[in-house]
Amino acid sequence: MLIVSVVGARPNFMKLGPVAKELASRRLRHVVVHTGQHYDGDMSDAFFRDLDLPHPDHHLAVGPGSHAFQTAAVMQRLEPVLENLRPDLVLVYGDVNSTLGAALTAAKLGLRVGHVEAGLRSRDRTMPEELNRIVTDRIADLLFAPSDDAVDNLRAEGIADEGVHLVGNVMIDTLCQALPRARTFEAPRRHGLEGRPYVVATLHRPSNVDHAGTLRELLETLRELGRSTPVLFPVHPRTQARMASLGLRGDGLRLCPPLGYVEMLGLVASSSLVITDSGGLQEETTFLGIPCLTARPTTERPITCTRGTNRLVPSRRTALLTAARDALRRGPGPRPVIQWWDGRTAQRMVQVVCETVPAPRRSDPRVAVSLSASS
Ligand code: UD1
């Protein structure tokens, strides 16, 4: 059996690791394609190093551009790679433009598509990721859902039960595997934050950073919070570009470039509060039991609010400051436990793959090659 994973952006890389390890442990052939949607060292290479990910077998060098450009470029450049490999399954991860481009390309070539993190919905179609999620789920054959609400969403959209598999959250696998290293890395000490309350903030959603007024208000709010509690703010390249063009310097905040996975996890795990608009951090804070405020009107991960530590807050000064001070005063509650977020999602996923993806036909030229290679 040949499986191709297509990844392109930071949140994809975090999901690839446990799947790649599990496929390797079962001696399944796995080819990794990097679309190049994210390309800076600290947005891409650092994750491959940190998470010990397999070196990509193909790099499509798509780079930045509009949504149409990125999606189309992934399709054009991936098609010949998939035509040549003719894999038994193409795995796509999450909800970025690379996910959609890869799923469409594979489906149009008649290849089976597996979607890791299927069924999440914010019900906000102004978010590019929501469109990516809906279309990818529509054309995927295997839908790996992280939680029961995701299964309900797929059912409500009329997606047949046979393809839907509740396997859990693969990002929590990554977290469980990296947490011991994150603790010994001592990131809080390296940032001068050891033994004191501090806040970690990240912002990169277009709705928060692409409008000058909103971005200015968010930075002002963080600065005000920073007067009483240090705020560490790793700045995403998109946010960095907007801040630079508006002449916003982030005074009063501890700004740093995007951090590697292990360093960021170590910082989040010892923080008192996270303020973010990221999807992954909502889940990671819930698993770790760290209070999280998400500066967005909706979330595709409602389970982090209903059963976790997350709370949605408008991207406005008063609302955020009140919620942040309240969270800091109350401190962390009991650590939530969410079913299937147990570090064994990749095992369950690959088991499903082995049970449901048909073995290659004996006339398949790849079988002949591998048989002759091993004889
Ligand atoms: C993308 C995903 C988003 C995810 C985020 C995580 C889509 C639609 N969005 O958003 O869901 O949460 O990644 O980071 O796919 N840039 C660099 N270097 C890089 C990558 C990006 O400088 O390595 C800059 C470029 O100016 C680029 C901009 O950031 O134009 C935005 O990058 P892009 O991949 O389009 O979207 P993200 O905002 O990163």
- Condensed to tens digits (0 to 9), the pLDDT of residues 315-334 reads 999 999 999 999 999 999 99
| Per-residue model confidence (pLDDT) at position 358 | 79
Of 262, 263, 313, 266, the closest CA to residue 288 belongs to 266
Report the atom number in ligand 1 closest to the C-alpha of 43: 23
Nearest CA to ligand 1 atom 20: 38
- E strands, the chain, are 2-7, 29-34, 58-59, 89-93, 113-116, 142-145, 164-166, 199-202, 231-234, 254-256, 273-276, 292-294, 310-312
Instruction: Say yes or no: CB of residue 133 within 6 Å of ligand 1.
Output: no
Same domain, 135 and 72: yes
| Per-residue model confidence (pLDDT) at position 360 | 55
Strands 58-59 and 29-34: parallel
Ligand 1 pocket mutation pick from 12, 37, 93 by most atoms within 8 angstroms of CB:
37
Does some domain include residue 369?
A: no
What parts of the chain have a pLDDT lower than 70? 359-375
Instruction: Say yes or no: CB of residue 38 within 6 Å of ligand 1.
Output: yes
- E strands, 216-307, are 231-234, 254-256, 273-276, 292-294
Same domain, 153 and 213: no
| Per-residue model confidence (pLDDT) at position 369 | 41
Does some domain include residue 183?
A: yes
Same domain, 163 and 20: yes
Q: How far apart are the CA of 140 and the centre of ligand 1, in A?
A: 24
Rounded CA gap, 189 and 195, in Å?
Answer: 8
Does some domain include residue 9?
A: yes
**Which run of H or E residues covers position 154?**
helix 148-156
Does some domain include residue 335?
A: no
Same domain, 140 and 190: no
Burial (CB count within 10 angstroms: exposed 0-12, middle 13-18, buried 19+), residue 200? buried
Does some domain include residue 336?
A: no
* Sign of the Cα pseudo-torsion (106, 108, 114, 118, in order): positive
Same domain, 325 and 185: yes
Same domain, 223 and 133: no
What amino acid positions are annotated as catalytic residues? 204
| Per-residue model confidence (pLDDT) at position 306 | 97
* Number of other CB atoms surrounding residue 342 within 10 Å: 16
Same domain, 144 and 202: no
Q: How far apart are the CA of 200 and the centre of ligand 1, in A?
A: 20
Same domain, 257 and 349: no
Instruction: Say yes or no: CB of residue 43 within 6 Å of ligand 1.
Output: yes
Same domain, 326 and 349: no
CATH number reported for the structural domain that contains residue 232 in this entry: 3.40.50.2000
Would you say 20 and 5 are in contact if contact means Cβ atoms under 8 Å apart? yes
Does some domain include residue 131?
A: yes
Same domain, 306 and 350: no
Which 8-state DSSP code applies to residue 300? S
Q: How far apart are the CA of 52 and the centre of ligand 1, in A?
A: 22
Instruction: Say yes or no: CB of residue 207 within 6 Å of ligand 1.
Output: no
| Per-residue model confidence (pLDDT) at position 375 | 31
Does some domain include residue 272?
A: yes
Domain count within the chain: 2
Rounded CA gap, 253 and 219, in Å?
Answer: 8
- Condensed to tens digits (0 to 9), the pLDDT of residues 31-59 reads 999 999 999 999 999 999 999 999 999 99
Of 311, 354, 355, 352, the closest CA to residue 168 belongs to 352
Instruction: Say yes or no: CB of residue 11 within 6 Å of ligand 1.
Output: yes
Same domain, 201 and 135: no
Q: How far apart are the CA of 264 and the centre of ligand 1, in A?
A: 18
- Domain, as residue range, for 91: 2-169+341-362
Does some domain include residue 367?
A: no
Same domain, 212 and 134: no
